[in-house]
Amino acid sequence: MADRQLILASGSPRRREILEQMGYRFHVVVTDVDETVDPALSAEQVVEGLARKKARAAVRTLSGAVVVAADTVVVLDGRILGKPRDGSDAVSMLGRLRGRTHQVLTGVAVADTAGGRVRSFVESTDVTMSDYPDSLIDWYVATGAPLDKAGGYGIQERGGLLVRGICGDYYNVVGLPVGRLHDLLIREYGLSPWD
């Protein structure tokens, strides 16, 4: 399968780092897709649908490739928390998450340019936040880190100070559930880090 390239259809530096850490060789192709979602859809449908849309958009521009695309959201009480609009929105989000358990959902889609086959799944991880003080929220938001992250925090960075524990795949919370992705790449596409 060395004749096929692995493509990551994402501009996320976190997803890129995860794949690099796992030993995959790949190229990055950023797609520009409309991420407007139907509010009637469940969070699972939203992330899986967006991941599939991103994968299909990248496949249309490539040949001889297997494309990986993903979308991650934070869900609290059944409602999606996207990326904060600004610092005030980040403070509000982190205040709602404080002391509670929420879900991080990542939809992953893998598409093959040979035949257009698309496989997808959704991974869910429960994250329990600490009962942190307002001063920690204010400090964290002042770093600017929350503004490009779903739910307003990144577990792999300073935002880890906000987290008490997780149940599920840590890498899913960062943005790419590599265990299930690796299984899918080997089983369905014959691709592995040692190729």
Catalytic residues: 71
Residue 66 to residues 109, 172, 183, 189: CA-CA distances in angstroms? 10, 20, 14, 8
CB atoms within 10 A of CB 82: 15
Give phi and psi for 144, each to the nearest 5.
Answer: 85, -10
Residue 183 to residues 17, 53, 168, 190: CA-CA distances in angstroms? 19, 22, 16, 10
